Structure 1
Amino acid sequence: EFPRLVLPWVRDRIDPFRFPSQTNFKIYAEQVNRARYFKMLSFGGTVSYSFRPSRSMKHTVTPLHLAFNHLQHRTATFDSIAQANPMLFHSLDDQFIPSVTYTFTYDDSWRHRRMRIWWENSFSSAGNVTSLIYAAFGKSLKEREKKFLGTPFAQFLKFSSEIRPLYYINDKQQIAGRLMAGVIWAYGNKTIAPYNEQFYVGGANSIRAFTVRSIGPGRFHPAENAAYSYVDETGDIKLEANLEYRFRIFSNLFGGNLNGALFLDAGNVWLMRKDEARPDEQFTFNKFFDNIALGTGLGIRYDLSFLVLRLDWGVALHVPYETGISKYYNIPNFKDGMGIHFAIGYPF
Structure 2
Amino acid sequence: MASMKGSLGLMCNWAKIRLLLLMLTMVGCNTLKKVGDDELLLTKNSIFTDGEKIKNEDIKSLIAQKPNSTLLGYPLRLNLYNLAKENPDSSFQNWLHRKEKREKRLNNLLSQKQVNRLRESFIVKGASDFLKRIGEAPMIIDTSLTQKSVNRLKAYYNSKGYFNNTGAYNIVKGKRKKRGKIEYNINLEKPFFIDTIQKNISSPELDSIYNRAIEQSLVKTGDQFDLAKFNNERERLTTLFRNSGVYNFQESSINYDILRDTIKLADDQSMDVQLNIQKPRSVNDSSSVGNDYKIFRFKKVNIYADYKIGWAKDSLKSIDHENYTIYYYDKLKYKPEALTDAIFFEKDSIYRDLDRIRTYRQVTNLNTFKYPSIIDSLVGNNKLISSIYLTPRPKFSLNLDFDVTHSNIQQVGTAFSASVITRNVFGGAETLNISARGSVGLLNGRNITIGGDTFTSEIGGDVNITFPRIWFPLNTEKIIPHYMLPQSRFLVGTNFQKNIGLDKQSFNTVLSYNWNPSNSLRNNIELMNVEFVRNVNPDNFYNQYQNTFARLDEIANNFQDDPQYASFFEETGNTEDPLQLSIPTGANDFAKAVLDNEIPTDQQQRADVNSIEERRQRLTENNLIFASNYTFSKNSKVDINDNDFYQFRMKLESAGNLLSLLEDVVPYNKNDNDQLLVFGVPFSQYFKTEFDFIRHWEVSNSKVLAFRSFLGLAVPYGNSESIPFVRSYFAGGSNDNRAWNAYELGPGKTSNINDFNEANLKLALNLEYRFPIAGDVKGAFFADAGNIWNVFDNEDNPDAIFSGFNSLSDIALGTGFGLRYDFTYFVFRLDIGFKTYNPAEEAAKRWFRQYNFKNAGFNIGINYPF
TM-score (norm 1): 0.85
Q: Could you report, residue by residue, the CA deviation over 1:118-176 in whole angstroms, capped at 9, with x for unpaired residues?
A: 00000000011122223312459999222222222110100010000011224511111
* Counterpart mapping for 1:46-85 below 5 A: 46-74=510-538, 75=540, 76-77=542-543, 78=545, 80=549, 83=591, 84=609, 85=612
1:108 aligned onto 2:636: yes
Whether the 8 Å CA contact 2:836–2:850 is kept in 1: the answer is no
Whether the 8 Å CA contact 1:218–1:282 is kept in 2: the answer is yes
Q: Could you report, residue by residue, the CA deviation over 1:179-220 in whole angstroms, capped at 9, with x for unpaired residues?
A: 000100111112111011111110010000000111111112
Relative contact order higher in (CA < 8 Å, ≥ 6 apart)? 1
What residue number does 1:297 align with? Answer: 816
Return closer, same or farther for 1:308/1:28 CA change in 2, 3 Å cut-off: farther
Whether the 8 Å CA contact 2:745–2:752 is kept in 1: the answer is no
Q: Identify the match of residue 857 of structure 2 among 332, 339, 342.
A: 339
Distance in 2, matches of 1:43 and 1:170, equals: 49
1:326 aligned onto 2:791: no
Whether the 8 Å CA contact 2:834–2:850 is kept in 1: the answer is no
What residue number does 1:184 align with? Answer: 714
Return closer, same or farther for 1:167/1:297 CA change in 2, 3 Å cut-off: same
Whether the 8 Å CA contact 2:668–2:678 is kept in 1: the answer is no
Distance in 2, matches of 1:306 and 1:29, equals: 31
Whether the 8 Å CA contact 1:91–1:193 is kept in 2: the answer is no
Distance in 2, matches of 1:162 and 1:222, equals: 26
What residue number does 1:121 align with? Answer: 650
Greater alpha carbon shift after TM alignment, 68-77 vs 26-35: 26-35
* Counterpart mapping for 1:91-102 below 5 A: 91-92=618-619, 93-102=621-630
What residue number does 1:160 align with? Answer: 690
Gaps of 5+ in 1: 224-228, 252-256
What residue number does 1:284 align with? Answer: 803
Return closer, same or farther for 1:321/1:330 CA change in 2, 3 Å cut-off: farther
Which has a greater percent of helix? 2
Q: Identify the match of residue 613 of structure 2 among 86, 96, 104.
A: 86
What residue number does 1:275 align with? Answer: 795
What residue number does 2:664 align with? Answer: 135
Distance in 2, matches of 1:34 and 1:301, equals: 34
1:150 aligned onto 2:680: yes
SS at match of 1:135: coil
Q: Which amino acid aligns with 1:334?
A: N
Whether the 8 Å CA contact 2:637–2:646 is kept in 1: the answer is yes
Whether the 8 Å CA contact 2:523–2:632 is kept in 1: the answer is yes
Whether the 8 Å CA contact 2:748–2:807 is kept in 1: the answer is no
Residue 96 of structure 1 deviates from its aligned partner by 0.7
Whether the 8 Å CA contact 1:90–1:192 is kept in 2: the answer is no
Distance in 2, matches of 1:212 and 1:34, equals: 19
Distance in 1, matches of 2:631 and 2:655, equals: 15
What residue number does 1:254 align with? Answer: none
Return closer, same or farther for 1:42/1:138 CA change in 2, 3 Å cut-off: closer
Q: Could you report, residue by residue, the CA deviation over 1:256-313 in whole angstroms, capped at 9, with x for unpaired residues?
A: x32211110000011013534x341111345444311100111112222322211111
* Counterpart mapping for 1:253-268 below 5 A: 257-268=776-787
Distance in 1, matches of 2:710 and 2:703, equals: 23
Q: Could you report, residue by residue, the CA deviation over 1:42-62 in whole angstroms, capped at 9, with x for unpaired residues?
A: 331212211111222111100
Return closer, same or farther for 1:91/1:141 CA change in 2, 3 Å cut-off: closer
Whether the 8 Å CA contact 2:741–2:857 is kept in 1: the answer is yes
Distance in 2, matches of 1:286 and 1:166, equals: 28
Residue 34 of structure 1 deviates from its aligned partner by 6.5
What residue number does 2:830 align with? Answer: 311
Whether the 8 Å CA contact 2:534–2:622 is kept in 1: the answer is yes
Which has a greater percent of strand? 1
Q: Which amino acid aligns with 2:831?
A: D
Q: Which amino acid aligns with 1:326?
A: A
RMSD: 2.9
Whether the 8 Å CA contact 1:261–1:299 is kept in 2: the answer is yes
What residue number does 2:755 align with? Answer: 230
Q: Could you report, residue by residue, the CA deviation over 1:86-106 in whole angstroms, capped at 9, with x for unpaired residues?
A: 342343220110100000001
1:242 aligned onto 2:754: no
Distance in 2, matches of 1:298 and 1:28, equals: 40
Q: Identify the match of residue 508 of structure 2 among 33, 40, 44.
A: 44
Whether the 8 Å CA contact 2:632–2:651 is kept in 1: the answer is yes
Return closer, same or farther for 1:97/1:321 CA change in 2, 3 Å cut-off: same
SS at match of 2:774: strand
Q: Which amino acid aligns with 1:275?
A: E
What residue number does 1:226 align with? Answer: none
What residue number does 2:423 align with? Answer: none
Percent of paired sites with the same residue: 26
SS at match of 1:267: strand
Distance in 1, matches of 2:783 and 2:723, equals: 30
Return closer, same or farther for 1:33/1:178 CA change in 2, 3 Å cut-off: farther
Whether the 8 Å CA contact 1:218–1:283 is kept in 2: the answer is yes
Whether the 8 Å CA contact 1:331–1:337 is kept in 2: the answer is no
What residue number does 1:220 align with? Answer: 750
Distance in 1, matches of 2:820 and 2:642, equals: 23
SS at match of 2:484: coil
SS at match of 2:663: helix
Which of the pair has more CA radius of gyration? Answer: 2
What residue number does 1:23 align with? Answer: 488
Return closer, same or farther for 1:52/1:259 CA change in 2, 3 Å cut-off: same
Whether the 8 Å CA contact 1:274–1:282 is kept in 2: the answer is no
Q: Which amino acid aligns with 2:485?
A: P
Q: Which amino acid aligns with 2:815?
A: T
Q: Identify the match of residue 201 of structure 1 among 699, 709, 731.
A: 731
Distance in 2, matches of 1:29 and 1:339, equals: 34
Greater alpha carbon shift after TM alignment, 18-27 vs 93-102: 18-27
Return closer, same or farther for 1:241/1:134 CA change in 2, 3 Å cut-off: same
Return closer, same or farther for 1:259/1:23 CA change in 2, 3 Å cut-off: farther
Q: Number of aligned residue pairs: give it.
A: 333
Q: Which amino acid aligns with 1:146?
A: L
Distance in 2, matches of 1:138 and 1:32, equals: 33
SS at match of 2:722: coil
Return closer, same or farther for 1:174/1:28 CA change in 2, 3 Å cut-off: farther
Q: Could you report, residue by residue, the CA deviation over 1:41-82 in whole angstroms, capped at 9, with x for unpaired residues?
A: 333121221111122211110001010111122424459568
Greater alpha carbon shift after TM alignment, 259-268 vs 139-148: 139-148
4+ residue runs of structure 1 moved beyond 6 angstroms? 140-143
Distance in 1, matches of 2:499 and 2:626, equals: 25
